[in-house]
């Protein structure tokens, strides 16, 4: 069965040009082409609330909220992803939030993000461009990992703690310093992970199982 998946994009500047541009890391294309060749995917432009009308004719089967920059740093992207989440929740479409995308899910459902990780992790850049171990909790997502602990990549400056987690969201994985690394919605087909499955990752097999879970929901 072909699945049509929309992937959000970051907004970045262009060298030598004073214009914002939407972009998506080619890692996503490589990852999806090699592991899920039957998926049809499209990058979703940052057009704010107009995104719902834009995707109305695409018959999307799910949405990936990709990573890139902090929540709150680019208003147009925040508006676009918020509008997409409203649409997905209304239609009960699966959502996979990756890194920033997981934090957007938490914020959307009433949680808050930790902007300065110093108090929790010792310094704000502890989780930037590194690998670390996470603990997987017993529950509905435990069998995706087959292990109590796995190692994942990490590229984020903001984070979510248990106390900052939205009440409707349930954690299934934590970093050793107390950050939520994986979550799911209690009632809707929504998953969030703090690491990047599309990038080089020690937990590659687990990434494939998470993607398969997302696509089957």
Other CB atoms within 10 Å distance of the CB of residue 17: 8
| Residue 173 in tokens | 């994985």
Question: Active-site residue among 81, 99, 127, 156?
Answer: 99
Which one is catalytic: 127, 132, 156, 196? 196
Tell me the C-alpha to C-alpha distance, in Å, between residue 33 and each of 14, 37, 46, 64, 70.
27, 5, 24, 15, 27
Active site residue 198: yes
Q: Which residues are 115's β-sheet partners?
A: none
Question: Does 196 participate in catalysis according to the annotation?
Answer: yes
The Cβ of residue 51 has, within 10 Å, a number of other Cβ atoms equal to 22
SS3 label, residue 56: coil
Helix (H, G, I), strand (E, B) or coil at 64: strand
Q: Among the residues of 43-202, which ranges form H helices?
A: 51-55, 75-91, 100-108, 118-121
Q: Identify which of 163, 160, 147, 148 has the alpha carbon closest to the alpha carbon of residue 193.
A: 160
Query: Residues 81, 121, 132, 198: which is the catalytic one?
Result: 198
> β-strands 169-175, 180-185: how paired?
antiparallel
Q: What is the set of active-site residues?
A: 99, 196, 198
């Amino acid at each position: 069965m072909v699945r049509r998946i929309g992937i959000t994009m970051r907004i970045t500047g262009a060298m030598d040009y004073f214009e914002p541009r939407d972009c998506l890391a080619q890692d996503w294309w490589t990852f999806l082409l090699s592991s899920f060749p039957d998926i049809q995917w499209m990058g979703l432009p940052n057009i704010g609330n107009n995104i719902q009308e834009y995707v109305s004719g695409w018959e999307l089967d799910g949405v990936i909220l990709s990573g890139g920059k902090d929540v709150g740093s680019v208003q147009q992207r925040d508006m676009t992803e918020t509008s997409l989440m409203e649409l997905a929740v209304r239609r009960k479409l699966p959502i996979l939030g990756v890194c920033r995308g997981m934090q957007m899910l938490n914020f959307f459902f009433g949680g808050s993000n930790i902007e300065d990780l110093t108090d929790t992790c010792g310094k704000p850049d502890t989780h930037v461009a590194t690998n670390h171990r996470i603990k997987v909790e017993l529950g509905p997502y435990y069998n995706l990992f087959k292990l109590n602990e796995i190692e994942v990549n990490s590229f984020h400056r903001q984070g979510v703690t248990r106390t900052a987690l939205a009440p409707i969201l349930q954690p299934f994985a934590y970093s050793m310093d107390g950050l939520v690394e994986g979550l799911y919605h209690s009632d809707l087909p929504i998953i969030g992970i703090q690491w990047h499955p599309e990038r080089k990752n020690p937990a590659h097999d687990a990434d494939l199982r998470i993607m398969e879970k997302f696509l089957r929901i």
